[in-house]
Structure 1
Amino acid sequence: MKVVVINGSPHRAGLVSQMLGHAVAALPSDCEVAELFVRDLTVRPCVGCMKCRSLRRCVLPEDDAHRAARLIREADALIVGSPCYWGSMSGALKVLFDRMVYALMGERENGLPEPLHRGKRVVLVATCNTAYPWSILFHQSSGVFRSLREIFRWSGFKVVGTVAKSGCRKHPELTSREIAKCRTLGGKLVKR
């Protein structure tokens, strides 16, 4: 099984990274894991030319978005994490997904989207600084999940679980319960 981990956090050792690490630790040892740390990628923003829809590839010069698209096409499952930025995923992660539309969904002749990853699974993790219950009431982490679910729904991925940590500024450490949730999440990825 090939699993791609996409880390949308700017912090290599931050809470999103830790949560992703715990989810990966729960995967069987025979899983092939490829990690993309979005901060380290060189990705030009989408220019909206729409040529990728008909060509099924991005016409911009080769960069890390092309490599990420290839990894996702080859993957059986994804683990994706992001901090909350204004009630959504991080900007760098959004730019990456904008550039990979052609690798995630096609377009039928009638203009309706065609999922390219039916049967694949994804798990999501998110963090936010807003304290609970305000993080729920103000749609912070749920906003991250909402925007990512939109991408994965149209791509054909099934979201099999989510884990959010709120109040990160005041509580910058993962609790044993949160670690266990992340590990459970990783386990859900491979259960059929």
Structure 2
Amino acid sequence: MNKILVLNGSPRRDGIVYTLLKEIIKCAEENNEIEWIDIYNLQMEPCIGCMKCRTDDTCVLPKDDAHIVGEKIKKADVLIVGTPTYWGNMSAQLKVLFERNVPVFMGEKASGIPLAKQKGKRAVIVVSCTTPWPFNFIAAESRGAVSAVKEVLHYGGYKVTGKIVKPGTKINNNISEKILSKARKIGSSL
């Protein structure tokens, strides 16, 4: 049994990212413990870039939801991260959560070389984008969002074992059976 933490970085309840995340966990529920967090419901201050978390191993800001979710990330075996694409990147609230939890994902050796703190854990990325295929990848829209999330996961030591991208949401909100099937397959593999 795995502890799976779902980070829903979309503000839209019942939107595309939400629906795909639900489809994944529906197929993973039977053999796993799952916790769902709607990032837009969290109360957290933005990172102030003080860099003290690098030496103190924790964010120095007053305790808020970012600290609480950081502890949950540490305890999870699998991280499922979903986000809409905003300007070729992840949603702002998800980015704030990640920025506040740098010491959860990585540390530094005395030489300054990054040290992955979640090494060996698995992760899944779910992204939606209003830009239609293939322009969502050509213009680095959803490709940029996937890359940004992967960057955080990479430094944390995660192995990305699944990725779903739903492009063209502005003109087509329907999720194809092919994409839903992929979500089910990913969920079953967890």
TM-score, normalised relative to structure 1 = 0.96
How big is the shift at 1:66?
0.5
Aligned to 1:4: 5
The corresponding residue for 1:124 is 125
For 1:98 and 1:45, locate their aligned partners in 2 and report how far apart those are by CA, in whole Å. 8
Partner of 2:41: 40
Q: Does 1:109 align with 2:110?
A: yes
> Contact 1:123–1:186 at 8 Å: present in 2 too?
no
1:33-68 deviations in Å (ceiling 9; x for gaps)? 111101100110011111111111111111100011
Residue equivalent to 2:99: 98
**How many Å separate the matches in 1 of 2:131 and 2:74?**
35
SS of the residue corresponding to residue 31 of structure 2 reads coil
| Structure 1 match to 2:162 | 161
Corresponding residue number in structure 2 for 1:31: 32
Q: Report if aligned partners of 1:4, 1:72 keep a CA contact under 8 Å in 2.
A: yes
Return the alpha-carbon distance in structure 2 between the equivalents of residues 48 and 133 of structure 1. Answer: 36
Q: In the alignment, residue 183 of structure 2 is paired with which amino acid?
A: C
Q: Distance in 1 between matches of 2:50 and 2:107?
A: 15
Distance, in Å, in 2 between the alignment partners of 1:28 and 1:10 is 23
TM-superposed CA distance for 1:168, in Å, is: 0.5
C-alpha deviations, 1:43-101, integer Å up to 9, x for none?
10011111111111111111100011000000000110000000110111111100000
**1:28 Cα deviation from its structure 2 partner:** 4.5
In structure 1, runs of 5+ residues without a counterpart are none
Partners of 2:12 and 2:108 lie apart in 1 by 35
Q: Which residue of 1 aligns with 2:82?
A: 81
What does residue 137 of structure 1 align with? 138
- What displacement does 1:187 show? 2.7
Structure 1 runs of 4+ with >3 Å offset: none
Sequence identity (%): 39
Partner of 1:148: 149
Gaps of 5+ in 2: none
Q: Does 1:179 align with 2:180?
A: yes
Deviation at 1:173, TM superposition (A): 1.8
Q: CA RMSD in A?
A: 1.0
1 CA distance for matches of 2:101 and 2:95? 10
Aligned residues: 189
Aligned AA (1:24)? I
